[in-house]
Amino acid sequence: MLAVSTSPIIARYLENVPAVAISFWRMAFGALILWIISFFRKQLPLTAINRNKTLLGGFLLGIHFALFFGSLKLTTIANATFLGTLAPIFTFFIEKYFFKRKHNPTMVLGLSVAILGAFIIVANQFDFSSDYTLGNLLAVSCSLFLGMAFIISENVRKSVANISYSRTLFSSAAITLLGISLLTATPITGFSPYEFGGLFLLGLIPTIFGHGFMNYAVGFVSPTIVASAPMGEPILATIWAYFLFNEVIGTPILIGGGFTLLGLIILTRKK
């Protein structure tokens, strides 16, 4: 959660880089780092079935990023931030109704408290006017795609090492985003060394130490618990912004953030 929270902060320094390009290079650099690590530390290859599942997971992850950044252009940041972090709700219902898993009441409580906190954070800025309908739908859809990616991650990670899985996942997501950039005529080159440095940091910190660690964790705990971690991103991002940009931490962040962190603590106490 700490690593993922750096994403919007680093992205703020990349104002001239299109959103799809940011997503592409984030995944591409993340994949490149893991492939370099694999050169020095040999990894077992994926079986055909696990490779196909991982490629599908990467496709879903790439679509998630594309939908999220697309929603930012069509709805408010508050709407996109809240609706784009509802992945644990989708994983919860997938686990419950498709895999017939029984969830501990404490886990349901933790998830509910975390979601309540996330809503409190954006409630005063939330706007469900008809002008934002498409953007809101894109934000909800991006949560669904991320949730499905975590479900696939759990299935594959039960038998596959994290580096072998994540390098293929990020590569597939990067290829998906490359295709989206071509379809939308979005440039992904021509940036300054300073901007590429920021893009590399996105590939290293929120991708390797953020999504990479979540991919590791999902091999041991419920996808619903892992998918809940990004709900803490707005809280930590706000703290980063306070020290870096002197942005004021409002009352909703303090109250809602407290609820969200309490919910995450309840969740992580349960496997």
What is the predicted pLDDT for the residue at 14? 86
Which position has the higher pLDDT, 171 or 218? 171
| Structural domain for 253, as ranges | 4-268
Segment 25-42, tens digit of pLDDT: 999 999 999 999 999 998
pLDDT at site 241: 73
Ranges of H-type helices in 41-161: 48-74, 77-83, 87-93, 105-122, 133-157
- Write down how long the chain is: 271
Confidence of residue 271 (pLDDT cuts 50, 70, 90): low
Q: What is the pLDDT of residue 244?
A: 77
pTM here?
Answer: 0.84
Which is more confident, 85 or 18?
18
In the DSSP assignment, the letter for residue 85 is T
Q: CA of 152: how far to CAs of 91, 215, 235, in Å? A: 11, 10, 28
Q: Could you give the number of structural domains in the chain?
A: 1
Rounded to 10 degrees, what is the CA torsion of 72, 8, 224, 168?
100
The highest-confidence range among 93-107, 116-130, 184-198, 232-246, by mean pLDDT, is: 184-198
pLDDT of residue 58: 96
pLDDT at 236 over 80: no
First to last CA, the chain: 18
pLDDT at 139: 84
- The pair of structure tokens assigned to 120 is 């409190």
Which of 236, 225, 235 has its CA nearest to residue 257? Answer: 235
Rounded CA separation 65/85 (Å): 12
Which residue from 41, 38, 39, 57 is spatially nearest to 49, judged by alpha carbons?
57
> Quick check: 73 pLDDT over 80?
no
Contact 79, 135 (CB under 8 A): yes
**pLDDT on residue 61:** 94
